[in-house]
Structure formats: structure tokens, C-alpha cells
């Protein structure tokens, strides 16, 4: 793992994971790529490649030009946007993924990482302490693409030895880059509305309980799995990872401890139906035993940290 190409590096997770990679592996070893230009100059000291993940030739040129041996593909259409444009979700999430897999095999890459999601689960899944191995019948196109992605990673690992790795991220909470069209986005938006207006109208219902994770844990988990010894990994792209679980009501209550006048009301939309069939919590014992996963952030310290960071941003 000497040269890492991060595709989708300017998104919610990429913008912080890439910064962590720069610190850990050296800026000169991280190639930043996205379909959008790096106009915000998030990564002024990295080589930047404008790449559409559905265009295999541009990915291959970057791999060859920079001697890339590891690809982390974060380019995706998330759950809510995917329901509005399922064809686009399929194209980017599956055809993009297949491009990365094919190039990984062709160029004998050291490893390839593509995240999965709690969206792989659905109405037939056990929704509390959801096992890693269970029935996967998602009812969103996003979830369908994530199940197929996991299966493709597993298939090509067995057939070709391609070292494919992935985590089923829960909803990720962060304060550097806004989330990009998911069902769990409320758990980020709420902090901005709390700080700016002391009130928030939530698009989920008060009791929609979902697993969540603060970005520092997301980055640690991703690095830990990326660096893990392959011989210790019993799975490829489908590791459950948990950190905290809460409903909008519980999150609002925690925010109220810091902002006593904060209020929340509810206007559930189609995203409530997506959340209804996602787990409330996941069994991440495989991640714990295979690569030492252990979360460090809970709802209390996450809320305190988020409020401080968002206050500073909004000043
Ligand atoms: P995001 O939407 O914030 O970022 C995606 C990035 O990909 C953006 O910078 C976008 O410009 C880029 N992109 C979009 N289409 C592209 C294309 N055709 N070619 C190249 N780049 C393209 O997403 P994120 O939240 O950072 O998610 C990263 C990964 O993690 C995705 O696979 C997502 O499914 C997964 N995930 C995220 C969460 C979460 O809560 N954020 C939860 C579970 C899984
Ligand atoms: N945060 C993501 C979404 O809501 C979960 O994969 O789409």
C-alpha cells in the first residue's frame, strides 16, 4: 500500500479520510480524484485528477501515471438521491465499482476498498443487533447496489484473489463537508439548525432509531480495515461496524442539554420509509475480532464536539 488513489475524495467521508491519509502515509502518496474539481482547494498539496468513476479509461490513466497500488472508491449516489434517480445510482455505484474491480485485477493492485452501508438490510432483516450474515432484501436502489457491490467484491476475491475490503458504514456524522443526499443526513443538519435557529424540522419520525458514527471513528475504522492483515479477515466488503444508536428525539434531548431552548418538530417524508427498514443497531463482533474495531465516540461526547465545531463554523 504505497500509492493510494481516492475516488470521490471531496465528499463527506472523502474530505476527512483523505486528510487522515495525508497525515498517515504522506501527501505525495495520495492521489485525490473526484468528478468535481477541487475548487475549494481542500487538498492544495495533493495531485488532483478529475475522474468520473464510470469512465474506466480515466481511472486507468491515473493508476498507470502515478503507480497507484491501492484504490479507495468513495464515489456513490446515496439513498435519498438514489430513490430520485435509480438509474444514476446503478450506473455510478455498480458500473463505477466494476471499473475499479476490473482495473484492480488487471493491474494487480495491492488492495481495493469500497464502502458498503446499513442500507443493505431491509424488511426481512433482524433490525436489532443486526447480524453480519442475514437476509439482505433492501428496498432502495442504493441498498440494492450495496448488496451487489458486496457480492461482486466477494466473488472476485474468490475467483481472482483481488483484495477487496469494505465496511457497512452506519450514518456518518461530521462537520467539515455536508452529507450528500442520504437518509441519515438529519443527524448532521440538526446541529446547524440548532446553532443558527434553535429549532429543527426533522424529515424522519421521532422514533426512527438508526446506527450512527462520528467521523473520527469512521476514519479510524477505515484505516484499521485498510491496514489489516488479509489473513485475519474472514470477510471482504461487508463488515458491520457500530458505535452509537439513537432516534431523532433522543438526539434532540442531548442537544437540549447544551441549548435548553432548542426545539424539534417532525414532518416525515419518503426518507422515513427508508429508515423504517434499516437496523436500529448492528452486531459488529466480526470487525471487533478480525481487525480490532472499538468505537471511541458516543452520543454524549459526539454532541458536545459537534456543537462546538458547528458554532465555530457559523461564527
Ligand atoms: P458523498 O456524496 O458525500 O461524496 C461522494 C463523492 O463522490 C462526492 O465528492 C462526489 O462529487 C463524488 N462523485 C459522485 N459521482 C462521481 C463520479 N461519477 N465519479 C467520481 N466521483 C463522483 O458520499 P459520502 O457520504 O462521502 O460516501 C462515501 C461512501 O461511503 C459511499 O460509498 C457511500 O455509499 C458510503 N456510505 C456513506 C455513509 C454516510 O453516512 N456518509 C453511510 C454509509 C455508507
Ligand atoms: N448515510 C447513508 C444514507 O443515508 C447510509 O448509507 O444514504
Of all residues in the chain, the percent with pLDDT exceeding 70 is: 100
Encode pLDDT of 92-149 as tens digits: 999 999 999 999 999 999 999 999 999 999 999 999 999 999 999 999 999 999 999 9
Report the separation in Å between the CA atom of 67 and the middle of ligand 2, taken as the mean of its atom positions: 32
Q: Is 142 a residue of the active site?
A: yes
Q: Kindly name the residue from 142, 186, 239, 277 that is annotated as catalytic.
A: 142
Task: Pull the grid cell for residue 313.
Answer: 463554523
Residue 97: closest CA among 26, 12, 162, 19: 162
pLDDT of residue 39: 74
Encode pLDDT of 195-241 as tens digits: 999 999 999 999 999 999 999 999 999 999 999 999 999 999 999 99
pLDDT of residue 28: 97
Encode pLDDT of 282-295 as tens digits: 999 999 999 999 99
pLDDT of residue 38: 77
Does the pTM surpass 0.85? The reply is: yes
DSSP characters for the chain? --SEEEETTTSTTHHHHHHHHHHHH-GGGEEEEESS--TT-S-TTSEEEE--TT-HHHHHHHHHHHT--EEEE-----HHHHHH-HHHHHIIIIIHHHHHHHHHHHTT-SEEE--EEGGG--TTS--SSB-SSS----SSHHHHHHHHHHHHHHHHHHHH---EE-EEE-EEE-SSS---S-STTHHHHHHHHHHHHSEEEESS-TT--EEEEEHHHHHHHHHHHHHS-GGG-S-SS-EE---EEE-HHHHHHHHHHH-TT-EEEE---HHHHHHHTS-SSB--HHHHHHH-------HHHHHHHHHHHHHHHH-
R_g (Cα) of the chain, nearest Å: 19
Going by alpha carbons, the residue nearest to atom 6 of ligand 2 is 117
The reply to whether ligand 2 has any atom less than 6 angstroms from the CB of 175 is no
The reply to whether ligand 2 has any atom less than 6 angstroms from the CB of 119 is yes
Residue 114: closest CA among 159, 152, 60, 155: 152
- Give 41's pLDDT tier (boundaries 50, 70, 90): confident
Going by alpha carbons, the residue nearest to atom 1 of ligand 2 is 171
5 pLDDT higher than 90: yes
The reply to whether ligand 1 has any atom less than 6 angstroms from the CB of 92 is yes
DSSP bridge partners of 169? 117
pLDDT of residue 279: 98
CA–CA separation, 293 vs 291, rounded Å? 6
CA–CA separation, 168 vs 115, rounded Å? 6
Domains annotated on the chain, with CATH = 4-168+215-240 (3.40.50.720), 172-212+243-313 (3.90.25.10)
- Nearest-ligand number for the alpha carbon of 78: 2
Encode pLDDT of 187-196 as tens digits: 999 999 999 9
The reply to whether ligand 1 has any atom less than 6 angstroms from the CB of 171 is yes
pLDDT of residue 51: 98
Q: Which of 81, 139, 173, 182 to mutate to test the pocket of ligand 2 (most atoms within 8 A of CB)?
A: 182
**Beta strand 210-214 with 244-246: parallel, antiparallel or unpaired?**
antiparallel
Encode pLDDT of 48-71 as tens digits: 999 999 999 999 999 999 999 999
- Give 182's pLDDT tier (boundaries 50, 70, 90): very high
Encode pLDDT of 155-167 as tens digits: 999 999 999 999 9
Amino acid at each position: 500500500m504505497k500509492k493510494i488513489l481516492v475516488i470521490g475524495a471531496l465528499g463527506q467521508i472523502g474530505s476527512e479520510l483523505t486528510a487522515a491519509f495525508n497525515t498517515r502515509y504522506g501527501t505525495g502518496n495520495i492521489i485525490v480524484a473526484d468528478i468535481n474539481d477541487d475548487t475549494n482547494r481542500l487538498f492544495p498539496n495533493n495531485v488532483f485528477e478529475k475522474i468520473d468513476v464510470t469512465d474506466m479509461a480515466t481511472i486507468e490513466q491515473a493508476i498507470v501515471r502515478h503507480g497507484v497500488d491501492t484504490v479507495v472508491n468513495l464515489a456513490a449516489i446515496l439513498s435519498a438521491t438514489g430513490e430520485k434517480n435509480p438509474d444514476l445510482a446503478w450506473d455510478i455505484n455498480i458500473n463505477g465499482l466494476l471499473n475499479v474491480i476490473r482495473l484492480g485485477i488487471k493491474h494487480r493492485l495491492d488492495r481495493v476498498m469500497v464502502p458498503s452501508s446499513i442500507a443493505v438490510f431491509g424488511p426481512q432483516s433482524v433490525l436489532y443487533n443486526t447480524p453480519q450474515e442475514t437476509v439482505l432484501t433492501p428496498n432502495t436502489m442504493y441498498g440494492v447496489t450495496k448488496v451487489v457491490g458486496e457480492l461482486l467484491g466477494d466473488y472476485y476475491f474468490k475467483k481472482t484473489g483481488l483484495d477487496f475490503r469494505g465496511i457497512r458504514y452506519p450514518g456518518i456524522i461530521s462537520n467539515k463537508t455536508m452529507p450528500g443526499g442520504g437518509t441519515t443526513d438529519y443527524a448532521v443538519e440538526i446541529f446547524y439548525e440548532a446553532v443558527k435557529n434553535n429549532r429543527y424540522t426533522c424529515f424522519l419520525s421521532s422514533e426512527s432509531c438508526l446506527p450512527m458514527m462520528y467521523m473520527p471513528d469512521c476514519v479510524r475504522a477505515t484505516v484499521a480495515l485498510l491496514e489489516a492483515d488479509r489473513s485475519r479477515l474472514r470477510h471482504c466488503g461487508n463488515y458491520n461496524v457500530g458505535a452509537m444508536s439513537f432516534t431523532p428525539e433522543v438526539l434532540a434531548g442531548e442537544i437540549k442539554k447544551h441549548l435548553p431552548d432548542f426545539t424539534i418538530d417532525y414532518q416525515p417524508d419518503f426518507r422515513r420509509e427508508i429508515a423504517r427498514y434499516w437496523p436500529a443497531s448492528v452486531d459488529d463482533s466480526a470487525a471487533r475480532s478480525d481487525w480490532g474495531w472499538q468505537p471511541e465516540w458516543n452520543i454524549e461526547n459526539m454532541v458536545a464536539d459537534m456543537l462546538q465545531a458547528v458554532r465555530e463554523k457559523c461564527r
